[in-house]
Amino acid sequence: MTAPNKIAHIGIAVKSIEDALPFYTEHLGLALLGTEEVQSEQVKVAFLQIGESRIELLEPLSSASPIAAFLEKRGEGIHHIALDVDDVRERLQHLKEAGVPLIHETPKAGAHNAQIAFLHPKAAKGVLYELCQYPDQSHDE
Ligand code: ZN
């Protein structure tokens, strides 16, 4: 298996993007790329560019959001690390065959039209990893 291309983003769970943003924009001087609502995850996301990676702030849209459950259980803080890869589907197949625990066995739609999938945190000592494939890297589009 080839290594992922880079860290696509680090996801940080917050109660309020509005409250969290000034630290990143004013104190760190990062550029806000935009905000987006991902209905499938019941989450609002804000992306900030940092070098070739991003910080992704995640705010729950409802109590049904996985982010709401995370905040309740563990409070605000680092939620996941996303890896930029070229072929989510193929990787998931490899991981599944290797017996690595997965949350998603097939890719789903994420922010910025990416194809994403989460590995189960018990695969990596409690760290939640996301695989992220952006459309411009897809070979079948
Ligand atoms: Zn993410």
Name the residue among 88, 101, 81 with its Cα closest to residue 1: 88
Instruction: List the single range of 85-89, 111-115, 124-128 with lowest mean pLDDT.
Output: 111-115
Tell me, in angstroms, the distance from the centre of ligand 1 to residue 47's CA.
10
120 occurs within a structural domain: yes
* Residue 93 counted as domain residue: yes
Confidence tier at 140 by pLDDT (50, 70, 90): very low
Half-sphere exposure of 121 (CA within 13 A, CB side): 8
Contact 62, 69 (CB under 8 A): no
How far is the centre of ligand 1, averaged over its atoms, from the C-alpha of 125 (Å)?
Answer: 18
* pLDDT given for residue 112 in this prediction: 77
Within a domain: 117 = yes
Can you say whether the dihedral through the CA atoms of 110, 115, 120, 125 is positive or negative? Answer: negative
Residue whose C-alpha is closest to residue 5's, from 56, 70, 52: 52
What integer pLDDT is reported at residue 40 of this predicted model?
Answer: 80
How remote is the CA of residue 88 from the centroid of ligand 1, in Å?
A: 14
Question: Could you tell me the distance, in angstroms and rounded to a whole number, from the CA of residue 75 to the centre of ligand 1?
Answer: 17
Distance 65 CA to ligand 1 centre (A): 14
Helix (H, G, I), strand (E, B) or coil at 1: coil
Residue 18 included in any domain: yes
**How far is ligand 1, taken at its centre, from the CA of residue 10, in Å?**
7
Please report whether residue 114 resides in a domain.
yes
At 141 the pLDDT is 39
Q: What is the mean pLDDT of residues 54-65?
A: 97
> What is the pLDDT, as a whole number, of residue 107?
95
17-34 tens-digit pLDDT = 999 999 999 999 999 999
Compute the distance from residue 11 Cα to the ligand 1 centre, in Å: 5
Q: Which CATH number characterizes residue 34's domain? A: 3.10.180.10
Mean pLDDT of 107-112: 84
> How much distance in Å is there from the Cα of 55 to the middle of ligand 1?
9
Residue 107 lies in a domain: yes
- Is position 33 within any domain? yes
